[in-house]
C-alpha cells in the first residue's frame, strides 16, 4: 500500500465497488447494537451534490430519506456519495417520512463534529493528514473533558474529514437546545460545528459508509485512530 494516498472524490464505479464488495450493513448494525442503541428510525443519502459525480443530474442538491431497512435498496438505486442516519427519535417516524417534517422529536442523540475544515491550513482542501492529525488530538482531548463533565458513554468515529464524538448517555438524549448551546459555548475552544451539536443538523454520517468527497470510510475508533483502516480497497490497489 502506498504511504501517501490522496484524498479524492470517488468515481461512480469506485463507489459502486465499495458498496458491493466492502460495505457491510451487518457491521453497521453491530455498531449500534454494541453501543446499546436502537437502529436509526430514518436514514438519508446524498447522491452526489458536493462532487457533481452523480447518476442522475436531477438528484443534485436533494436529500433522500428512507427507513434503515431499505438501506441496501437505496444504495443500489442511487450509488450515493454520502449516507447518514437521523439522530432524532420520533413518535411516528413513518409520518415524518411522509411529511418530511422533522421538528417533533422525542429525543436526539448528542454528537459533536470536529471537522478539519474548521482548522486553519495552507494546504488545498478537501483535507490533509496534518489537519486530520490535529483534529484527532482535539477529539481525544475533548473526549477527556466531556468525561470530566459527567458524560461516560462516548464513542469516537472518524468521518473522512474529521471526527465525530457520539455522546450516548441517556441524559444527553434529552438535553434541550438551550442546554446543547451552553455545551457548545463551554467547548468552543475546539473546532466543532455548533449546528450539529446544537441539534439544527440532525444527520450524522453512518459508520462504515464512505465519504465520497475524500474516498474514506467512516470508521469507529476503538482504541487509537488507524489511518489504514479508513482507506477503501480500490485506493490501496490503485
Q: Start-end ranges of CATH 3.30.70 in the chain? A: 109-193
To the nearest whole number, what is the mean pLDDT of the chain?
95
- Higher confidence at residue 127 or residue 158? 158
Residues 6+ apart with CB under 8 A from 220: 31, 155, 156, 157, 158, 207
Q: Which residues contact 111 (CB under 8 A, 6 or more apart)?
A: 87, 164, 165, 166, 167, 196, 197, 204
The answer to whether residue 2 scores a pLDDT higher than 70 is no
Better-scored residue on pLDDT, 59 or 117: 59
Alpha helices in the chain, H assignment, sequence order: 12-21, 25-34, 71-78, 93-99, 129-148, 170-173, 177-186, 194-198, 233-236
Its CATH class, for the domain covering 109-193, is alpha beta
Q: What is the pLDDT of residues 20-47, one digit of tens each?
A: 999 999 999 999 999 999 999 999 999 9
Residues 6 or more apart whose CB falls under 8 angstroms from that of 191 comprise 114, 115, 116, 118, 119, 135, 138
pLDDT tens digits, 110-148 = 999 998 888 887 765 678 888 999 999 999 999 999 999
Q: If you ran DSSP here, which 8-state letter would residue 149 be given?
A: T
CA–CA–CA angle 190, 196, 199 (5° rounding):
130
CA distance 154 to 151: 7
Q: What is the pLDDT of residue 1?
A: 44
68 phi and psi angles, rounded to 5 deg? -55, -35
d(Cα 41, Cα 71) in Å, to the nearest integer? Answer: 12
Residue with cell 439522530: 87
pLDDT at 238 over 80: no
- In percent, the amount of the chain with pLDDT more than 70 equals 97
Q: How confident is the model at residue 236 (pLDDT cuts 50, 70, 90)?
A: confident
pLDDT score recorded for residue 164: 98
Which residue do the cell numbers 482531548 mark?
A: 141
- Which among 37, 55, 38 has a CA at the least distance from the CA of 46? 55
Amino acid at each position: 500500500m502506498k504511504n501517501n494516498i490522496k484524498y479524492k472524490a470517488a468515481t461512480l464505479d469506485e463507489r459502486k465497488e465499495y458498496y458491493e464488495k466492502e460495505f457491510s450493513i451487518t457491521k453497521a448494525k453491530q455498531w449500534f447494537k454494541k453501543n446499546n442503541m436502537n437502529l436509526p428510525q430514518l436514514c438519508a443519502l446524498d447522491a452526489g451534490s458536493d462532487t457533481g459525480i452523480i447518476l442522475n443530474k436531477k438528484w443534485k442538491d436533494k436529500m433522500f430519506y428512507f427507513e434503515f431497512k431499505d438501506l441496501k435498496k437505496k444504495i443500489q438505486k442511487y450509488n450515493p456519495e454520502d449516507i447518514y442516519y437521523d439522530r432524532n427519535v420520533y413518535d411516528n417516524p413513518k409520518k415524518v417520512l411522509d411529511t418530511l417534517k422533522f421538528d417533533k422529536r422525542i429525543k436526539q442523540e448528542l454528537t459533536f463534529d470536529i471537522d478539519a475544515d474548521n482548522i486553519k491550513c495552507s494546504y488545498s482542501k478537501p483535507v490533509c493528514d496534518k489537519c486530520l492529525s490535529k483534529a484527532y488530538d482535539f477529539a481525544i482531548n475533548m473526549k477527556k473533558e466531556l468525561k470530566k463533565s459527567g458524560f461516560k458513554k462516548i464513542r469516537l468515529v472518524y468521518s473522512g474529514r474529521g471526527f465525530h464524538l457520539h455522546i450516548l448517555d441517556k441524559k444527553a438524549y434529552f438535553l434541550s437546545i438551550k442546554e446543547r448551546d451552553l455545551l457548545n459555548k463551554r467547548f468552543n475552544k475546539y473546532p466543532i460545528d455548533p449546528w450539529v451539536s446544537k441539534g439544527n443538523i440532525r444527520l450524522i454520517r453512518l459508520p462504515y459508509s464512505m465519504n465520497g468527497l475524500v474516498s474514506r470510510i467512516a470508521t469507529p475508533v476503538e482504541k487509537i485512530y488507524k489511518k489504514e483502516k479508513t482507506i477503501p480497497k480500490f485506493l490501496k490497489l490503485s
